[in-house]
Amino acid sequence: MQNSYFSLSQSSKSGLPSQPTQQRGAVFSTILLIVIIVAMVLLTLYLIKLDRTITSKFEGKRWDIPAKVYSQPLELYQGATVDNNAIKTWLELLNYRSNKAYDSTGTYHKSGNTYFIHTRGFTYSANDVEAEQVIKMTIANNKIASVQSTVPAENGIIRLEPVSIGGIYPDSNEDRQVVSLDEVPQPLIDALIATEDRGFYEHKGVSIRGIARAVLNNFSGGSMQGGSTITQQLIKNFYLNSDRTLKRKANEAMMAVLLELHYSKDEILQTYLNEIYLGQNGNRSINGFGLAAKFYFNQPLNELRLDQQALLVGMAKGPSIYNPRRHPNDSKARRDTVLANMLAVGSINQEQFDSAIEQPLDIADKPVEGKSQFPDFLDIVKRELNEVYYPDDLKNEGLIIISTLDPIAQLAADKAIDKKLGELRRGSSKAKNLEGALVSANPETGELVAVVGSGSEFTGFNRAVDAKRQVGSLLKPIIYMTALESGRYNLASPVDDSPVTVNLGDGSQWNPKNYNNRDHGYVPLTTALAQSYNQSAVRLGMEFGVDTFARQLQRLGVQEKIPTYPSALLGSVNLSPMDMLGVYQVFATGGFRTPIHSIRTVIDDRGRILQRTGLNTQRSIPPQTNYLTNYALQQVVKTGTAKRAQSLGSSLNLAGKTGTTNDYRDAWFAGYSGNYVSVVWVGRDDNKPIGLSGGTGALPVWIDYMSRLKLTPVAQAEPEGIEWLWLENNSGKLSNERCADARYLPVLSAYLPEEASSCALSLYQQERFGIDSEQDAMMEQRQREGLAIPDGETMDTDEPDNTDADTWYNRAIEWF
């Protein structure tokens, strides 16, 4: 009994602690379970958050796409004025390559005067797509003699694609050209898969095999591949950062799996191809293979050779380390590694490999996607866009802007400014710091075709629009236009160029002088303008009033407030070259004002046209008045201060006006042919004298620029209300071609002269007397022979003359 009791007691003691232990275990298990559940809930919530992060950006707006600005296209059609130099320049700007086979886009072959061009095509809008095609074109006598294409042109016009002139970039400073997967060459995709992620099409975002291989390679010293998949690299670039932490790596792995659950391999690959960072262009990053192709090779992605595609793929590992411009040897070695990877997986054969590794790098010296080579024009485009669009839309929405820039004209302007300003700077110490501006437009459309407004480096100060300088004699044509429009003057009327004194409102006096300090007395109106006499301009301007002068300028499109003091008549008005371009555009088009503009169309990223600039033309000057003014401006070139412009060809009938300000601080010339209206300013930014006049400073630049273009003559249609008469020069009276001072000039029909010169009257009377005597003799002969005298004739010379005065005057006008 004792033994059993003892055993029982011992058993009871040993079993006492088992219950609390079990309870503690249960509590611990419960807590652990709760922790696990909470962790799973938190993990689930975190995964949901990550999932939303992934889908919101992937399905939304993935990138801020910069707006891209292009020139106008080159229109090719039979009869178009295009020469070999223009075609050559355009192809060079587009980076077309000479190739006898011309079997791929971006290639051409020239045989004599015949071109075979394999175009790249261009999308101008969703409904206006110029397809890739082969063009056969023959040029003769600076015109297109014939043009054929593999793609029919409904209107007979084929467009060679526009030239890229720059972009408007997002605040992130990321630059990219988004390409679709079918635009990416298959060898590039093969190179990427072989080098970065050979199991891309098998794994689900994370490759355990790849991670293990990376670890093994690190231990063994090899570095053929990294452990991250393409999907993980996309996650890192697209959503995360490059921090080397476990948290970032864990997020990367989870997000990669989630991304692959939602989207196809093709969608992921296409996004990677457009996201990957491949270098730096100043303060802008080069993202995506589409833009990298242009940045490093000046060619579209689909025109790259196999070795060039491999080089870009190799740069994905380290754009700085393998930058071909800075580290060509490292870049080439990395390229060859990529080619070896392709050979190893069977993407290329041995012959392709051997050929590719022998190729030079062929990196472009100056990338087309670098600094804009036409920054002044691009600046004006941006200013015009900012008047209509929000800045964020311009920076982020991938707009395509087709501008009015003509690259041929722009290059001509650049060369003219560089050449002639260089000569002028070397010619005088006063001109050492000389600057210039040039603006040029198509007068009929108002399309700006060329702008030079800054020095070698664009600083944001564009003299073409920002430099408000006194314009001098450029405004004198407005004075003479007003006089002609009034009917008080015609082109042969005398104007007084004797000394003049103008009483000013403050009691002082103004005594303007001619530049040569000589007085010329009465001179013909055309001479006063052609020789740019100041005294005659002031006298004539004051006759009609400074207020009238200011209203005329506003009528011509000048928006600046014009001061109403007399010196404004001689150009003491601060205006820009662009302002003066608008004024002379009116003169060049028969009196029609079309606002100068730099944009043709704006297209959004879906190909929809947001803006199309149409002709907004308004009548500014009566056509008869403009016709006379144009004639007077042509005399400036034929016989006046711009006579040097005759070197361009007397048959062009050029028109224009020189301008010089006080102390020779500013030199101007504004003028036009039939197809270009152009303004040149030359001066110093500090407004110090330059010792040059409009004829010696600005005109040489203008001539050099226009000489590089294909000009058409000024041939304005004669409007109704104009009659051509012989007038006596410097009196404006009717004359006869046999008189010494007679000039055959256009006159307003509403204001025909009522007086005739003494020479013309004498000739008229002699001729009329001879006719009357002959008629009297004939009548006497008929009377002697008993013949009837015709109706309306009479022999009674004693009867008063019943001829109506108006009838007599009209007959006299016809005679004169």
Residues with catalytic roles: 196, 473
Give the three-class secondary structure for 306.
helix
Residues 6+ apart with CB under 8 A from 694: 472, 473, 641, 657, 658, 659, 660, 667, 668, 669
Compute the distance between CA of residue 524 and CA of residue 530 in angstroms, rounded to an integer. Answer: 10
Residue 63 DSSP class: -
Give the three-class secondary structure for 782.
helix
CB burial of 285-296 (b: ≥16 within 10 Å; e: otherwise) equals bbbbbbbbbbbb
What are the DSSP E strand ranges found in 626-741?
A: 655-660, 666-672, 677-683, 722-728
Residues 6+ apart with CB under 8 A from 440: 409, 413, 448, 449, 450, 451, 581, 676, 677, 678, 679, 705
Rounded-to-5 percentages of helix, strand, coil across the chain: 45, 20, 40
Cα angle for residues 654, 544, 622 (degrees, 5° grid): 45
Cα angle for residues 15, 17, 23 (degrees, 5° grid): 115
Compute the distance between CA of residue 709 and CA of residue 729 in angstroms, rounded to an integer. Answer: 36
CB burial of 84-111 (b: ≥16 within 10 Å; e: otherwise) equals eebbebbbebbbbeeeeebeebbbbebe
Radius of gyration of the chain measured on its C-alpha atoms: 41
Q: Largest Cα–Cα distance of the chain, in whole Å? A: 198
Residues 6+ apart with CB under 8 A from 140: 113
* Cβ pair 119, 109 in contact under 8 A: no
Compute the distance between CA of residue 460 and CA of residue 437 in angstroms, rounded to an integer. Answer: 14
